[in-house]
Structure 1
Amino acid sequence: MAPKIDPDSPGFLVSTTARLMRLAFEREIERAQIGVTAAEARVLAHMSVCGGMRQHHLADRLGCAPMSVTAFLDRLERAGLIERCADPKDRRAKIARLTPEAGQILEQIQIAGERSRKIAFAGVKAEDFAAFKSVCLQVRGNLEEPRSVRDTQMVPE
């Protein structure tokens, strides 16, 4: 008989929790009717945190195919929320940047995110949340180290 995989192992817990939090965020974005899809909201949120970057780096950060990100960026560019410009280090590559018009949408995305976090962490004591956050930051730091070389290629705004 094959060994049983523990559904409460860290990998499963993180994956399941992330999926459920993403669904809660998507519901809040849909409820807010802010003019972007949940996927486009995630793109804008990552761009607000990371600044301007090449499209393939953004796809990597989002964990999706570069072609999907291109489609999201096409729609966001038509809406005037992002702009693409040539990378000064490689004119063949494009850097995507937020436009000032994205600010109002980002405020609404932040509110939707706060609502979904409130749902997710209902009943969690402040000290337990602080411990949870501390552990998550440590794990992220442990796992992101190999990405540091790639992240230095991102372009600040």
Structure 2
Amino acid sequence: MPAKIDPESPGFLVSTTARLMRGAFEREIERAQIGVTAAEARVLAHMSVCGGMRQNILADRLGCAPMSVTAFLDRLERAGLIERAADPDDRRAKIARLTPDAQPILEQIQLAGERARGIAFAGVRPEDFEVFRAVCLQLRANLEETRTARLQEEPAQ
């Protein structure tokens, strides 16, 4: 008899919920017609939270291939929403930063995100949301700690 995978296990629940929330966010971005795609909106949102960073680090945070992020950044740079400069520690690497022109777009992205969260959390009591949030923060901390330890153990290439 084959192993029974539980579709309500934490991994499946998180993955499915994230996919559905991402879809709700994408629909809200499209509905808002703010001049960027949903993928570009995610790039801008991560940059607003994390500040200027190397393109490869941004790709890792987004869970995207570096080439995909480069294409997004190319379009955002042409739109005047980001700028790229050589990393002072490694001239071969580029650091991407938001420009002041990104602020009105970020405000629209934030509103779209709030609408998507409203859809996702309809009927969820505030105290239940706080428990959910605390559990998610702990899960993230556990997984980041494990990931950091693993990366420190890997030999440099």
Deviation at 1:148? Answer: 5.1
TM-score if structure 1 supplies the norm length? 0.93
Secondary structure at 2:44's aligned position in 1? helix
- The 5-angstrom pairing of residues 1-157 of structure 1 reads 1-147=1-147
Structure with higher RCO (Cα < 8 A, 6+ apart): 1
Secondary structure at 2:114's aligned position in 1? helix
Q: Counterpart in 2 of 1:153? A: none
Cα deviation 1:17-65 (Å, max 9, x = unaligned):
0000000000000000000000000000000000000000000000010
Amino acid across the alignment from 1:65 = A
Measure, in 2, the Cα distance between the counterparts of 1:36 and 1:117. 20
Amino acid across the alignment from 1:109 = I
Amino acid across the alignment from 1:72 = F
Structure 1 residue ranges, 4+ long, deviating more than 3 angstroms after superposition: 146-150
Measure, in 1, the Cα distance between the counterparts of 2:41 and 2:32. 11
Secondary structure at 1:94's aligned position in 2? strand
| Cα root mean square deviation, aligned | 1.2
Measure, in 2, the Cα distance between the counterparts of 1:68 and 1:48. 19
Query: Between Structure 1 and Structure 2, how many residues are aligned?
Result: 150
Deviation at 1:146? Answer: 4.3
Deviation at 1:120? Answer: 0.2
Measure, in 1, the Cα distance between the counterparts of 2:41 and 2:68. 14
Measure, in 1, the Cα distance between the counterparts of 2:146 and 2:2. 33
Deviation at 1:3? Answer: 1.2
Q: Percent identity?
A: 83
Q: CA 1:24/1:100 → structure 2, altered by over 3 Å: closer, same or farther? A: same
Structure 2 unaligned regions, length at least 5: 152-157
TM-score if structure 2 supplies the norm length? 0.93
Cα deviation 1:122-142 (Å, max 9, x = unaligned):
000010000000000000011
Measure, in 1, the Cα distance between the counterparts of 2:95 and 2:147. 19
Deviation at 1:145? Answer: 1.7
Measure, in 2, the Cα distance between the counterparts of 1:32 and 1:77. 21
